[in-house]
Structure formats: C-alpha cells, structure tokens
C-alpha cells in the first residue's frame, strides 16, 4: 500500500512492552491456518505473550473456521455479503468490529473475499495474507490449480503484506517444495500446507518482535530481522 500523504510507507506494528500484539483473523473455510494461529497465539499458548488472537471474522456463516474460534473462546462474527448493501459497506463493518476489539494486525487465513481500499485504509500495512504460490507467479484464486495446469514442478507459499492489488503486496516469507511426479491440485495442496502452517505464525512472530520494516531505498521490499 502506498502512503497517500507522500511520506515513507508505514511499518507493520510491533508488540508494545507488556502487551501482546492483538491479532484479528479473517477466514472463509475450514480454518486450518486459523487453528495453527489459535494453537500458537492464545493466552495459554507458547507465544501467547508475544501475540494473541482476539477476534475472528468471516464472510460465510457456518464456516468451520468460525466454529474453531468458538471452541477456543475467541470472539467471532460472520459478515455475509448479502447483509450489506455494498462490499465497501461490508468491509467498513468488519474494520469497525476489529477496531472495537483493538486489533493491531489483521491476518488473512484462507479469506476468500478481496478486501476493498476502505478496509485497507483502516489498517495501513497491517494486513498479512498467506497465498499458495510463489508470488508473483499465480496470483488470485485457484493458484494451485493454475500452477498444476502450467506444469510447474516447484510449488510454494508466500506470506505477504496486502495492498490494493491482487496478491501484489510486499513479500515477507516464502518457501517451496519440489514435486517430481506430476501432481493433481489436491496432492500439491497437501504438500504445501505444512509450509503455510509454518510460515504464517513465523511472519506474525517477526512482526510482533518489531523485525519487519520497509526498506527506505526500495519501499516494495520488507527488511526482516528474524531475531
């Protein structure tokens, strides 16, 4: 996301002393990435003092992800598109709800709706997404299916900051796996899922520790200190 004031781009937030970074997670489906975040960043979890999931939102009532939040005792809410006159109105409602929960960082964990500029202006450089490809290759929906159709042998995962393009934000972390046999989409997804489950919480840890900042010489790049 660019800075409309003309200054340097914002820097992702770090946890304040004695206060875990407050995470708001958006998810649409089964919520396996959400579960990893819940297992890692709740009050009793190993990294609960560093970051904490405090709210979970979704666009699909009845999604398993919301059930996971409920079982974990985390406040959750569904925001169906049909309940709002426009996408902007829906995203404004989500942003307002997350602000009510004092969210510092928004994590997209399998959230299938494209966020509007209205939402991104509410959380500048404070939205992180996990995408099932090595961006900039295969952006958008059905990324794994795109890669399989293209015939690639290397499949990967990218965690990136979200801007107002489609999977065009600055890269935080990437990793890949080589599949020698020609896989179908289900096999490729199964192969990269452990990468998602490792990289997403790692990106949150880095941000919470203050280890992510924009490169002043190349603002599209994010400099990382993994500590």
Scan for tokens 């919470």, then name that residue. 208
Residue 154 has a pLDDT of 96
Residue 137 has a pLDDT of 97
Q: Is 160 a catalytic residue?
A: no
The alpha-helical segments, DSSP class H, found in 27-142 are 32-40, 64-71, 87-100, 117-122
For residue 170 the two structure tokens come to 């600055």
| Torsion (CA) 145, 150, 155, 157 in degrees, nearest 10 | -60
Rounded Cα distance between 198 and 60, Å, is 25
Residue 16 has a pLDDT of 73
* 12 touches 125 (CB < 8 A): yes
Rounded Cα distance between 181 and 188, Å, is 10
Of residues 119, 120, 140, 121, the one with CA closest to residue 131: 140
Residue 179 has a pLDDT of 94
Residue 209 has a pLDDT of 94
Rounded Cα distance between 124 and 142, Å, is 26
Tens of pLDDT along 76-107? Answer: 999 998 999 999 999 999 999 999 999 999 99
Residue 220 has a pLDDT of 86
Considering the entire predicted model, what is its pTM?
0.92
Rounded Cα distance between 126 and 218, Å, is 19
Of residues 121, 147, 143, 148, the one with CA closest to residue 131: 143
List the catalytic residue out of 84, 131, 160, 197: 131
Of residues 89, 102, 33, the one with CA closest to residue 65: 33
Evaluate the CA torsion angle 57, 193, 67, 36 in order and state its sign.
negative
Residue 2 has a pLDDT of 36
Rounded Cα distance between 10 and 214, Å, is 8
Residue 18 has a pLDDT of 75
Positions of the chain with pLDDT under 50: 1-8
Residue 182 has a pLDDT of 76
| Torsion (CA) 167, 35, 12, 22 in degrees, nearest 10 | 140
How far CA 5 is from CA of 1, 8, 168, 199, in Å, comes to 12, 9, 21, 32
Domains contained in the chain, CATH given: 19-124 (3.40.50.170), 129-227 (3.40.50.170)
Q: Which helix (H) or strand (E) holds 143?
A: helix 143-150
For residue 220 the two structure tokens come to 């599209």
């Amino acid at each position: 996301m660019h800075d409309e004031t003309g200054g340097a781009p914002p820097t992702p937030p770090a946890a304040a002393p004695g206060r875990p970074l407050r995470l708001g997670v958006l998810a649409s489906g089964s919520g396996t990435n959400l579960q990893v975040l819940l297992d890692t960043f709740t009050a009793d979890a190993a990294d609960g003092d560093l970051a904490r999931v405090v709210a979970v939102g979704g666009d699909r009532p009845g999604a398993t992800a919301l059930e996971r939040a409920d079982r974990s005792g985390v406040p959750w809410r569904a925001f169906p598109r049909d309940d709002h006159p426009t996408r902007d109105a829906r995203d404004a409602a989500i942003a307002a709800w997350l602000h009510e929960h004092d969210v510092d960082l928004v994590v997209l964990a399998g959230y299938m709706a494209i966020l509007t500029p209205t939402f991104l202006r509410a959380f500048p450089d404070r939205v992180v997404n996990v995408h099932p490809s090595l961006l900039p290759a295969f952006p958008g929906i059905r990324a794994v299916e795109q890669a399989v159709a293209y015939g690639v042998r290397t499949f990967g995962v990218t965690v990136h900051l979200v801007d107002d393009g489609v999977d065009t934000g600055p890269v935080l972390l990437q990793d890949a796996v080589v599949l020698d046999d020609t896989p179908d989409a289900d096999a490729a997804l199964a192969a990269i899922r452990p990468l998602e489950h490792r990289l997403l919480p790692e990106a949150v840890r880095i941000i919470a520790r203050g280890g992510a900042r924009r490169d002043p010489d190349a603002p599209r790049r994010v400099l990382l200190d993994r500590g």
